[in-house]
Amino acid sequence: MRQTIKFVNSDKTQFFNILRSRVDNYFLENNISQHANAAMVLKTIFMIALYFVPYIMIITQIADGFAFWLCWAIMGLGLAGIGMSIMHDANHGAYSSSNFINKVIGRALNVGGGDSNNWKLQHNILHHTYTNIQEYDEDIDAKVGMRFSPNAKHKPIQRFQVFYVFFFYSLMTLYWTTVKDFMQFARYGKDGVDRSNRKERLKNFFIIFNWKVFYLGYILILPIFVIGIVWWKVLLGFVVLHLVAGLILSVVFQLAHVVEDATFPLPDEKGNIETEWAIHQMQTTANFARNNWLITFYVGGLNYQVIHHLFPRICHIHYPKIEPIIEKTAKEFGVPYIYNKTFLSAFRSHVRVLNKLGRNEISPGVILNNMG
């Protein structure tokens, strides 16, 4: 049984109270909703089309030769785009004020081979509450010889992780759509993360199972056994789709947390983190490429990850407008605001951190800075 983590605002800072008030006033003064607007709806249509138009071209056999493989790769772009720009907001309750609409749109994850209930437990509860805390935030757990935190056990093979880590990144959604959800389902029930009763858990298991059957049915069984496309081409295309989606999703999320200047705090013997929760988010989360409209559009505002962690129920379409409020308030209170100007600078920072972690050159609990 893991100890309970508590965030202790020992300095009695009013940082988050004032910041929240200012952000709320922005929406009130401009008389706009915190949820999706027309631009967000158009983006939703675009991302869904980016995934399903190539799929239709494949199963109708319009796409042939090189176009066949290109369609699978574009589907990977679409799947990652749906995950970052649509289902992410919906499963946080940020897409709409209607719980029903959020639930329906959040099921886009299930259509893409995942499970929205497991995702909420891992992402909304564990990652957003315990960001960058070893053994609590599963996003930084050591996996297949990879090390993402100085507080994780070091293994000799990890000195080479900078050379192989991106290959494993690309396998993320392939693993997700096959076995990850079932493994998480079992683990969350055992660890108490999933507090559903036995009847609810049985129902959730069948939901996972039925969606997996639906997903594998339309993505593999339909083109192979109904349409009659050569099986190995479909399987290889399926792998291409997930290599593209997995690499994109993994890199985007890593650039927000496993970079220089981010912290990986350790609780004390009582399980306390001696800082306000909101300041903890500022210390463990980074923005990048906020002036690049194309990246902002495609990654669903996840390049404004600081805002998302502080205000997960605000639709990402509003992030560029409220970002100056957060930066200004952080400066007033002397709170760190971690930012990489470009995608490339964030990527290089991530690689440097991977290299240092792999060589075990960072002490536990320190800030990953001054490493260039």
Q: Is 339 helix (H, G, I), strand (E, B) or coil?
A: strand
Q: What are the tokens at 186?
A: 């079992």
Q: Residue 299 is which amino acid?
A: V
Q: Residue 261 is which amino acid?
A: D
Helix (H) or strand (E) holding 340: strand 338-340
**What are the beta bridge partners of residue 286?**
338
**pLDDT confidence of residue 144:** 83
Rounded Cα–Cα distance for residues 247 and 22 (Å): 36
CA 49 to chain centroid? 21
Whether residue 283 lies inside any domain: the answer is yes
Largest CA distance in the chain: 66
**pLDDT confidence of residue 187:** 92
CA 347 to chain centroid? 16
Rounded Cα–Cα distance for residues 67 and 370 (Å): 46
Rounded Cα–Cα distance for residues 211 and 107 (Å): 10
**pLDDT confidence of residue 371:** 37
Rounded Cα–Cα distance for residues 73 and 70 (Å): 5
Whether residue 29 lies inside any domain: the answer is yes
**pLDDT confidence of residue 132:** 95
Rounded Cα–Cα distance for residues 353 and 336 (Å): 19
Q: What are the tokens at 195?
A: 């507090």
Q: Determine the length of the chain.
A: 372
Of 6, 271, 257, 288, residue with least CA distance to 127: 257
Sole residue written with tokens 């190539």: 54
CB 306 within 8 A of CB 338: yes
Whether residue 368 lies inside any domain: the answer is no
Q: What are the tokens at 206?
A: 């069948």
Whether residue 366 lies inside any domain: the answer is no
Rounded Cα–Cα distance for residues 169 and 249 (Å): 8
Q: What are the tokens at 71?
A: 């369609």
Whether residue 211 lies inside any domain: the answer is yes
Burial of 291 (0-12, 13-18, 19+ CB in 10 A): exposed
Whether residue 18 lies inside any domain: the answer is yes
**pLDDT confidence of residue 74:** 98
Expressed as residue numbers, the domain containing 267 is 6-358
Whether residue 369 lies inside any domain: the answer is no
Rounded Cα–Cα distance for residues 128 and 141 (Å): 15
Rounded Cα–Cα distance for residues 371 and 263 (Å): 13
List per-residue pLDDT tens for the chain, 372 residues long: 567 899 999 889 999 999 999 999 999 999 999 999 999 999 999 999 999 999 999 999 999 999 999 999 999 999 999 999 999 999 999 999 999 999 999 999 999 999 999 999 999 999 999 999 998 999 998 778 999 999 999 999 999 999 999 999 999 999 999 999 999 999 999 988 999 999 999 999 999 999 999 999 999 999 999 999 999 999 999 999 999 999 999 999 999 999 999 999 989 888 899 899 999 999 999 999 999 999 999 999 999 999 999 999 999 999 999 999 999 999 999 999 999 999 999 999 999 999 999 999 876 654 444 333
Whether residue 364 lies inside any domain: the answer is no
**pLDDT confidence of residue 364:** 64
Question: Within a 10 A sphere around the Cβ of 136, how many other Cβ atoms?
Answer: 18
What total of structural domains would you count in the chain? 1
Q: Is 197 helix (H, G, I), strand (E, B) or coil?
A: coil
Helices 38-59 and 66-82: crossing angle, nearest 10°? 150
